[in-house]
Chains A and B, each alone.
Chain A
Amino acid sequence: MMGPVQVLVVGFEQPAFSGEVLAEFTRLREAGIVRLVDLLLVSRGPDGTLDTLTAPPEFGPELGALAAALLGRPVEDGAGETDQPDEAGGWSLADAVPPGSAAAVALIEHIWAGPLTAAVRRAGGSPLEETWLAPADVAELESLIAARGG
Chain B
Amino acid sequence: MLLVPRQLRRAGMTGDVPYYGGRFSPAQAYALSHPGPPPASVATAVDVVGRTVPPHGPAPSPPPGPPPSPPPSHGDTLASLRHLLDSGVISADEYEQLRARV
Q: Which residues of A contact B12 (CB under 8 A)?
A: 127, 129-130
Q: Mark A61-72, 1 if CB is under 8 A from B, else 0.
A: 000000010111
What is the bound-complex CA distance between A79 and B21, given in angstroms? 27
A42 lies within 8 A of B3 (CB): yes
User: What's the minimum C-beta distance from B22 to chain A, rounded to whole angstroms?
Assistant: 9
Interface residue? B1 (CB, 8 A):
yes
A92 lies within 8 A of B17 (CB): no
Q: Which of A79, A87, A88, A121 contacts B4 (CB 8 A)?
A: A79
B10 lies within 8 A of A91 (CB): yes
What is the bound-complex CA distance between A54 and B11, given in angstroms? 29
Interface residue? A101 (CB, 8 A):
no
Interface residue? B9 (CB, 8 A):
yes
Interface residue? A150 (CB, 8 A):
no
Q: Which of B1, B3, B5, B15 contacts A121 (CB 8 A)?
A: B15
Could you tell me how many residues of chain B have their Cβ less than 8 Å away from some Cβ of chain A? 21
Interface residue? B69 (CB, 8 A):
no
What is the bound-complex CA distance between A50 and B7, given in angstroms? 14
What is the bound-complex CA distance between A39 and B8, given in angstroms? 17
Known interface pairs A117-B15, A127-B12, A130-B13; A84-B7 also in contact (CB < 8 Å): yes
Known interface pairs A4-B13, A130-B13; A74-B3 also in contact (CB < 8 Å): yes
What is the bound-complex CA distance between A109 and B93, given in angstroms? 38
Q: Which of A7, A80, A87 contacts B7 (CB 8 A)?
A: A87
Residues of A within 8 A of B (CB): 4, 6-7, 42, 49-52, 68, 70-76, 79-95, 110, 113, 116-117, 120-121, 125-130
17 contacting pairs across A/B (C-beta < 8 A): A4-B11, A6-B13, A51-B3, A70-B6, A73-B3, A73-B4, A75-B1, A75-B4, A76-B2, A79-B4, A83-B6, A87-B9, A92-B5, A121-B15, A125-B14, A127-B12, A129-B12
